[in-house]
Amino acid sequence: MVAPNALVVGTVTLIYDHHTRLLPEKLTDLQHEHHHVIISTLHAHLDHNSCLEVVVLRGKSKDVQTLADLLISTKGVQHGRLVMSSPQTAAHHH
Q: What are residue 27's DSSP bridge partners? A: none
Q: What are residue 57's DSSP bridge partners? A: 10, 38
The residue among 90, 12, 22 whose CA lies nearest residue 57 is: 12
Is 49 among the residues that bind a second copy (CB under 8 A)?
yes
Query: Which amino acid type is present at position 83?
Result: V
Binding letters toward a second copy, positions 18-47, x by CB under 8 A = x-----xx--x--xxx-x--xxxxxxxxxx
Taking the least distance from each CB to a second copy, the nearer of 7 and 62 is 7
How many residues bind a second copy (CB under 8 A)? The answer is 42
Q: Residue 60's CB: how many other CB atoms inside 10 A?
A: 16
The residues that touch a second copy, with contacts defined as CB under 8 A, are 9-11, 13, 15, 17-18, 24-25, 28, 31-33, 35, 38-52, 54, 56, 58, 78-79, 81, 83, 85-86, 89, 92-94
